[in-house]
Amino acid sequence: MQKRQLGQGLEVSALSLGAMGYGRARDLPDRADMITLMRKAVERGMDFFDTAEVYGPWTNEQMVGEALAPVRDKVKIATKFGWDIDQQTGEHRGGVNSKPAQIRSSVEGSLKRLRTDYIDLCYQHRVDPEVPMEDVAGTVKDLIAEGKVRWFGLSEAGAGSIRRAHAVQPIAALQSEYSLWTREPEAEIIPTLEELGIGLVPFSPLGKGFLTGKIDVGTQLDASDMRNSVPRFAPEAREANQRLIDLIRRIGENQGATPAQVALGWLLAQKPWIVPLFGTRKLERFEENICALNLVLSKDDLTEIAAANIEIRGDRYPEEHMRRVGL
């Protein structure tokens, strides 16, 4: 699989597999299938995997650790700290907590659950407005010096926080939502990353499934589906946003590619230091997505997408979650 450089010398496969949707419940019926999928991803050349302490909490890291332990020397594992999780019980108390003692406790727990002596890329999951960014970066800097962490990252942080953290401990990657229907990072974040030499790992590159072209205004989501709370998935928003799907489907048909491949190919064409992070529970979808690496969108394709200037309807998070991004 093709490789890409993030910041600070971190080289990874050009696509990353996110495990957020795996192993979040102890009785997950297809847990064994998810472990198999991750191992097959390694066989196909992927070496960059993403999890977080809060997914579960803890059950996701445990599963990722089990899946990747036999191939630990072949992969790079990213995980995250920063939510207020009781380090004894695993209770997620809501809100954020990036106090230095909490960071250290979170990292120690992640190391055990991931069955490893070091974390390749350790992100702060959300900025904690109560803890100076210099203290957060300084704590991670110490963990790097101790060999417990190799690279530092931030998630959904604003440009000011990125600069403050980077001045203390150089950042390898920012993880934030960026896709054909989430273009806000282009205004300030991407120029900041380019200036500082930081890579971007965009999550939800397929718009939580919408950019695959398999969801329309008539699609019935399961009552437990978190997308029911996302304004962008309201029926009227889905109907308005179908214009984007029509565009990428037309471009894909000319290229012999699926809408998902066009969406990933567009991201890969933006900057050489962008590594899209997707999630899937099915091997066939994994195979479809990695074939985006073979898709080369033409200058005319990229110009057509840019010229369409399609306005996306609806926020990407519920209001209370939007307040936690860009700090």
What lies within 8 Å, CB to CB, of 193 at 6+ separation is 7, 162, 174, 199, 200, 273
Contact 152, 171 (CB under 8 A): yes
| Burial letters 250-276, b for 16+ CB under 10 A, else e | ebbeeeebbbbbbbbbbbbbbeebbbb
What CA–CA distance (Å, rounded) separates 289 from 118? 29
Contact 18, 203 (CB under 8 A): yes
**Residues annotated as part of the active site:** 55
What CA–CA distance (Å, rounded) separates 177 from 173? 13
**Which helix H or strand E contains 202, and what residues bound it?**
strand 199-203
Check the CA dihedral 195-165-85-148 and report its sign.
positive
Q: Which residue, 105, 63, 66, is CA-closest to 83?
A: 105
